[in-house]
Structure 1
Amino acid sequence: MKIKNGVAELWASLNPAFDLSEILQGFLQGFTDIAGNENTPVDEYKPLLDERQFCLLDERPFDPLTQNTQIVRFEHGAEILENSFSITMPVDGGSRYVAEFLEFCWPSDRPRAKEQSYHAASGPWAIKKTPALAFYGVRNTTWKDPYISVHFNAAAGALGLHSLHSAALLQVLEQDLAFNGPDEILAEMHARLLPIHARIAQYETEHASFFEQRRQAFLSLGMEVLARFSLNQNFLIQERESASPVDLLVGQTTDKANLWTMPNPQTMALRSWCERIGWEGFAEQRALAFLKHQKQDDEIAKAIVSQCVSLGKYTWPGLIEVLSATPISYQCQLEIISFMADPNWPGAGEAYDVIQKNPDLFAAALQESYQWAQESNDDSWMAMIGSLLGIDEDKDEDE
């Protein structure tokens, strides 16, 4: 169970013998008293903006979850199922359902969907709509090893955690202005977000007990689903954290209890910084300058790598630029070399060029990485490193 920006996410790899619809219904049974159908509302029930929660409130009559239409499609032999739901929230003067939460995003952040602003106070910010409760599942039985991968997402605001992300964005703006100097747009963004963040934080504080109970219910329900549909009811599956580039994050078994881990404010702020160094990132050069300074601490450098790996490949070329800023510590050298494991990854070519220009500096780290690649039987990575070390793989195999 983790919180990433505007959503809380439970990820699991489950038994492919079950249908996705079975897993979805098992998960949603526990929400029948608080969630409703999130179809497009008719004209008489248009969503209204709630300024305290910064979300769209829907006043439609309650609609049980069992009446939701499942959205199923097929791609490349895989079954994909998606559903979104509204969810009740504590409000004064009646029961209304939250249709979607509104999340502040950096402008020109191309990989993330954008919506037109629903509030004049958003100013230069981009706004993203986030479903209150969402299910996304993929079931593929055509592969040699059939699998099911499912994500259960709840908007952070539905769990009383909306203010965490806005606080991280404010921290980034304050750090940027202090480190890089004045900027009119950044100052306006800070001024626009500050009062909205204050209203959200006050609302969540006033209903702290309610949200604490909801978080525990969400966690318990998620664990129940895992136990019901996992390959073995005696273990739980959680997402593997990775600080190295990977094509697909996979699950690992654990006998540890899955508990809510509230995100560290500094970690969320660092993630927000890293969002800005992707393709067409917002004020990218300012973000690169700040992160290049921060990465001089090896522990922070590793944290930057971890965040960019989690965010996705669109940040990896920028990450290599950060890691390769002088001085390049031994830890940063190892991180740069790791991005050559697949020559098709964004950042792999940039990493190769950096190493090629500094052969003496990278010599020891290349030797160490080459041994790792050998122990991992990673032929592609060995070939990339070997080309820099002058090792002829074909010749070695013949000998």
Structure 2
Amino acid sequence: MRKSFIVLFFLFSARLFAQNLNPEYFDKIVFNSDFKSSRDLKLWPIANDEDEIMIISNGQYLIERKNNTKDRFIFPNWQNPYPNYELSVNLTLEKLVFPYQVAGVCFQFNSSLTDGLILEFNKSKQFRIRKINENGIISYLTGSTPNNSWKKCNYLLMKGELNDLNILVNGNKIEIYINNYFIYSFENESNFNLRNFGLFVGKSSQITFQKIQLLVNHKEYGKYDYLLSIKDVKEPEVTADTNTQKNDVKKEADTLTEKPNQTTGSSDNKELTEALALIVRLKKDLSTKEKELETQKQLLEKCKNDNLSLNAFIESNLDNKTLNRITELEKENNKLKDQLQKLKTENATLQDFKTFYLNQNKDKDIINFLYDELKKLEEKNASLSRQVEMLQNQLKNLKK
């Protein structure tokens, strides 16, 4: 427990002593852009072309740099008149996935936006600070070469989480905080005109900003309002001056016009190798998926053929059942026709009997008539019986 307390004490002390400027000193907001109002559309450029996409939507400023040969500086349509200030920026870095992709902010730029500082981040949770002058010459404040100028920053959040960046400027003293952690401080040349800020997106890179504020001390508020003016947004051209640069600086300037698949340094080469290996694996996976897709297509075609055969079988069986049913119905129809014919014959007989009855017995009841007719038939039957008996007796006599 005591050891833990000592470690925490030294960590707190290191952070405390590293901090010379008090963030609470800057307590008055003079610039606020949360990308939720129509005013933001006037402050920041919008684009959607072959070089880049810059969109303001749902409280976010999405910037995607398609151009793979040139970095992009984006300045608001507003000039900062205050020499001492705090720049507060909310940004998301999850789209930085390759070693050559970088993004961040620029600050301490002159009024012509050709001379200033660039704070940039990469996917490896690293940052560095570059300085660009009016001639486009690059130098480094966090190192001496393009490679050793990268500094580790474990406080950076990369998986879609929001980062709070704060840059404090007071005279020639500058301190940088990320997510409320102090990460770097330095002294810059004291120049009254170096005060403008903006956004930075490297070639083939993408970043999202959610809120940008500039704060000053309330005692200085309004003191420099006479310097405020609306301006046209410019983008500084980055060129290399081979006559004045050192070799390592010249290499970095040259990389500003290189394609994104070109890297410098062993660490970058290692990351590039890993990226290429990942691409090879993805190609293999893609080939496997294509084979699986082809197999699925063949199975689908087989299912279609089976379905056609099944439909033909069903139609065939349906036709046979229909024919059998038709045959049965025809038999029933013929049977009904026979019955109808019998009924017609019986009806004709009854009609003849009715006619005979009406002609012979117009005034007699039909029941009495039938009774009389029945008696006649019985008498006739008795007579026939007697005749049969007589004939049988004669037949017996003849046999004797």
Same-fold call, TM > 0.5? no
Output the TM-score relative to the length of structure 2: 0.21
More strand by share: 2
Using the size of structure 1 for normalisation, the TM-score is: 0.21
- Would you tell me which structure has more helix in proportion to its own residues? 1
Look at both structures and tell me which one has the larger radius of gyration over its CA atoms. 2
